[in-house]
Structure formats: C-alpha cells, structure tokens
Homo-oligomer: A and B are copies of this chain.
C-alpha cells in the first residue's frame, strides 16, 4: 500500500525557507525604492538588517542577480541594478509584445470562469483608481494582468513580465501615479477588458499596444526629467 492520497486531501505544506523570505524582502525593498538604484548591498549589513545568516543572504543575492534586479560589480559586491532609458525602452517593448499576445489569446480562450475572474479584477482595479494608496493600484494592476496571462495559458511569459516589471518598478510606480494616467489609464484598461469580453483578439491586442505605448512615453518623460534633476543636483 502506498501513501498516495487524493489531491484534495493532500497537506499543502509550504516550507517557506528563510532564503525565499529573504528574496522577497530584498525584492520588496528594491522595488519600493528603499534600496535605490546603485545602492550597495553589503552582505554583512544585510545579515544584521534581516537577522539571517550570510549563507542565506548570499544565496538570495544570487537569485536576484539572475533575476536582473541586482548586479555584481567585480570585487565590489552586489548593487541594485541601474536603469537607463535604453534598457527601459527595451523592457517596455518586450512587455508590449508579450502582453499583446497574452491579451489576444486570452480573448480567444475566454470561458465563463475566466470571464468572472477578469470582471472581478477589473472591478478591483476601478476601486483602486479611487484609492490614495499607490500600492493598492499597483497590486490591482498586477492582478488584472495576471488573469489575462493565466487565462491565455502564457505562464512563462507572465513570469518573464513579472521579472521585467521588477526591473522597472520605480518607473511603473511613477507612471501609475502620474495624473493624466489616472484618467486615461483607467479608460485604456477598460478598453482592454471590453475587447477581451467581446472575444476580439485583434482589438484586445491593439488596446494593450496603445496602453503600453502611452505608458512608455510617460516613463520616458519621467525618466528624462529625473535624470535632468539628478544631473543638476549631482554635478
């Protein structure tokens, strides 16, 4: 006799290791801007701050390094990855292609259950637009896209997009907070959802494309303004 159990009875023991927790904390600290771009991640300092051993910190940094959130400077150790407009442009371009593809396939594959999920995510997004908390808007946006990608069956693309989003998190926060975006962003999201509900892949794809093109333009302006500011104050 084996120990096999029906899946429903299976004990879902999630052994969240210290390493995983450390990765999440560090990623959150970087994405929230607490560790700014270029910030040096000194291992023994992080040991004190997170209260875990060096092994854990080092392994977590290796993971974030592969994610692209952290860069290793030879003989200097890890720093928070820097972002210039050229990199950001590339990332927006990749996102555009992957998200447009996901929206199209999502529109094709939409069933009743997915329709309900998307409806819920859209509702939550609308409420988030009224909220003051940028984190709420950020989370609701993420959830909205997650439904689209998962419905489309594009799980790997979703992983990639999430990873890319981590690298432009500061920019994303800025664009989400941008005032024009509050009005036009909501309208564009609505259009994406409508096209998907109408099961019109082409229209969904185009809507995503317009949405992201606009986001990239806003990001470009914001990044250049930020760089100008840094140049003035820095030098």
A interface residue numbers (CB < 8 A to B): 13-15, 19, 55, 58-60, 62-68, 74-75, 86-87, 90-91, 93-94, 97-98, 101, 153-157, 159-160, 164
Pair A87/B156 contact, Cβ less than 8 Å: yes
In whole angstroms, what is the CA distance A97 to B153 when docked?
16
This chain: how many copies in the complex? 2
- Interchain nearest-CB distance for A54 vs B (Å): 9
Collect the chain B residues with CB atoms within 8 Å of residue A60's CB: 62
Contact of A59 among B59, B74, B157, B160 (CB under 8 A): B59
Name A158's closest neighbour in chain B (CB-CB): B90
Please give 20 more A-B residue pairs, beta carbons under 8 A apart, in addition to A19-B62, A63-B66, A94-B157: A58-B59, A59-B62, A60-B62, A62-B66, A64-B66, A65-B66, A66-B67, A87-B156, A90-B153, A90-B154, A90-B155, A90-B157, A91-B156, A93-B101, A93-B157, A94-B156, A94-B160, A97-B97, A156-B164, A160-B160
Chain B CB within 10 Å, residue with most, of A63, A74, A101, A156:
A156
